[in-house]
């Protein structure tokens, strides 16, 4: 997606060998017009899938998923991190290890909001090691729902997330795939 790649080059910041900060437009400040184009592109790529629900994870996936959901005319469900008093015990859950923060977080989704009949599109901002996606897929499996695919805004193509997902038979659509990063710059695949 050229518009997105141009924006990453213009406003993204490469830190070290594996951190790309895009909080200028994607996950702290949010350019909603860019998100609309991202949402349309997800809809175009998954136009052959019958999607009933979009699943994401708090916090930075929520805005992307909500804007995209408008083009699919489906609700969004976001997995919550940690234990929440108001969620109760009626939940599906999975553990997600964050390589960035070196902590394992439990993510939960209420059993009320994923049904066996659901055909689910996962949407998230980044794909690196695929740990967050694996957790969301575990939850979809617990609900015996159907995973239609994974839509990612920015994929770190030099990390093993895509391979892990595709080995499990999961369709992955990334709007920008980074081939390599370092020295303050990056190249796309």
For a copy of itself, the binding residues (CB under 8 A) are 19, 21, 23-25, 28-33, 35-36, 58-59, 62-63, 65-67, 69-70, 73-78, 80, 85-87, 100-101, 109-110, 112-113
Nearer to a copy of itself, 59 or 168 (CB): 59
CA 130 to CA 108: how far, in whole Å? Answer: 17
Nearer to a copy of itself, 35 or 165 (CB): 35
Q: How far is the CB of 7 from a copy of itself (least distance, A)?
A: 13
Q: How far is the CB of 27 from a copy of itself (least distance, A)?
A: 9
CB 121 within 8 A of CB 137: no
Residue 1 gets which letter from DSSP?
-
Q: How far is the CB of 95 from a copy of itself (least distance, A)?
A: 19
Q: How far is the CB of 168 from a copy of itself (least distance, A)?
A: 26
- The CA angle 128-187-175, to the nearest 5 degrees, is 55
Nearer to a copy of itself, 95 or 99 (CB): 99
**Burial of residue 133 (number of CB atoms within 10 Å: 0-12, 13-18, 19+):** buried
Nearer to a copy of itself, 113 or 188 (CB): 113
- Write the DSSP string, 119-188: EEEEEEEEESS-HHHHHHHHHHHHTT-EEEEEEEEEEETTSTHHHHHHHTT--EEEEEEEEEEETTEEEE
C-beta neighbour count of 63 within 10 angstroms = 17
C-beta neighbour count of 14 within 10 angstroms = 17
Nearer to a copy of itself, 3 or 62 (CB): 62
Nearer to a copy of itself, 108 or 174 (CB): 108
Length of the chain: 189
């Amino acid at each position: 997606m050229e518009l997105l790649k141009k924006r990453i080059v213009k406003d993204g910041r490469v830190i070290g060998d594996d951190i790309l900060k895009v909080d200028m437009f994607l996950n702290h400040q949010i350019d909603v017009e860019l998100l609309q184009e991202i949402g349309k592109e997800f809809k175009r790529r998954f136009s052959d899938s019958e999607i009933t629900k979009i699943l994401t994870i708090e916090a930075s996936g929520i805005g992307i998923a909500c804007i995209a959901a408008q083009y699919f005319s489906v609700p969004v469900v976001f997995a919550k991190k940690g234990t929440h008093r108001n969620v109760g015990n009626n939940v599906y859950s999975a553990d997600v290890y964050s390589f960035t923060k070196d902590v394992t977080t439990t993510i939960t989704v209420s059993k009320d909001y994923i049904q066996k009949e659901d055909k689910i599109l996962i949407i998230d901002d980044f794909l690196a090691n695929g740990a967050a996606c694996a957790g969301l897929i575990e939850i979809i499996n617990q609900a015996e729902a159907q995973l239609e695919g994974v839509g990612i805004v920015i994929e770190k193509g030099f990390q093993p997330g895509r391979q892990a997902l595709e080995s499990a038979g999961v369709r992955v659509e990334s709007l920008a795939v980074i081939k390599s990063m370092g020295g303050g710059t990056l190249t796309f695949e």
